[in-house]
Amino acid sequence: MERTGVALAGLLGRCPAMEHLRREVATFGPSELWVHVFGETGTGKENVARALHELSPRARQRFVAVNAAGFTDDLLVAELFGHARGAFTGAVTAREGYVAQAEGGTLFVDEVAEMSPLAQVRLLRFLQEREYQRLGETTTRRADVRVISATNVDLAARVREGRFRLDLFFRLKAERIVVPPLRDRGDDVLLLARHFLRLQSAARGEPPPVLSSEVEKALLRHHWPGNVREMENEMQRLGVRAAGRAVRLEDLSPELRDETRVPVFGLREALQRTEADLVRGSLDRHGWILARAAAELGITRQALWAKVRRLGLVVGGP
């Protein structure tokens, strides 16, 4: 249990969506299932992958991360599986790949949807056979590696578009874990803001700046398109700018500071809009599978269906 707590420490948050996420990670971490992590850019998909690794029997072995979007076709294959000397221009020595480095441990492949057709074929073969060949070699090698993948796009949509192999899609998605965007996490915004301010100030041996009520309102109002990564960067700025005093509205980045025009609703309408946003967000994340969305929201399936009808929500609607 202590190990579980340590592994999940990087997944901060008190909202129902984060509590559901931690339960999912605690459930599937100790297994050998291949897990696919879905979430917008900056939501912390690698943190989820690391927590899955730390809860697994492979925790004492290496966790190796690779971003598939950062390499060209042949180069990604060479980085994943290694290459022989002279396999391509610049390959002056033989090199083992990320798969060999992760032997006995976990390989995290981020942005897997950006893999080229060739890289998809090579990865599929490895997942099926646990075998691979270094680029420029004919020797077959074996590896014992758990693969966790991640994307910020819908893999099923890429399959329908003909841009991602259906067989690889089914291999990767033994289990799918969704990381909620920061805008759907309510007061977690302030919890994370204070957390990052404490880290920034502790590094300098100073007390963290205090957030004024105006600043708190601005943080809660912001859409956070860059999610937790954007929040961390903003708090690093504020930790320097407001060192030794309270954070003022003028200290915020322009995109947060200028978001002052907020529609005015009656309390009942405002609460209904908020409820509708939360319910629709959960349903969209889980492909309108009521049981999964209800579990994330902490209500029964019947109660969720009643809300869907009362709020007039439909698939693909506003």
| Count of CB atoms situated within 10 Å of the CB of 202 | 12
Question: Which DSSP letter does residue 35 get?
Answer: E
CA dist 180 and 17 (Å) reads: 7
Is residue 57 within 8 A of residue 30, CB to CB? The reply is: yes
CA dist 276 and 313 (Å) reads: 8
Q: What is the pTM of this model?
A: 0.77
In words, the CATH class of domain 267-311 is mainly alpha
Architecture of the 183-257 domain:
Orthogonal Bundle (1.10)
CA dist 110 and 15 (Å) reads: 25
Residue 261: name the closest of 212, 217, 216, 213 by CA.
217
| Count of CB atoms situated within 10 Å of the CB of 98 | 19
Domain assignments of the chain as residue spans, ordered by start: 2-176, 183-257, 267-311
Q: Which CATH number fits domain 2-176: 3.40.50.300, 3.30.379.10, 3.30.230.70, 3.10.129.10?
A: 3.40.50.300
Torsion angle of the four alpha carbons 197, 202, 205, 208, in this order, in degrees rounded to the nearest 10? 30
Q: Mind listing the pLDDT tens digit of every residue in the chain (318 residues)?
A: 456 665 676 799 999 999 999 999 999 999 999 999 999 999 999 999 999 999 999 999 999 999 998 777 668 888 899 887 766 666 667 788 899 999 999 999 999 999 988 899 999 999 999 998 888 888 899 999 999 999 998 888 889 999 999 999 998 877 899 999 999 999 999 999 999 999 888 878 888 889 999 999 999 999 999 999 999 999 999 988 888 788 999 999 988 887 654 444 566 666 677 778 788 878 877 777 888 888 888 788 877 887 887 777 755 444
Q: Which residues pair with 108 in a beta bridge?
A: 65, 148
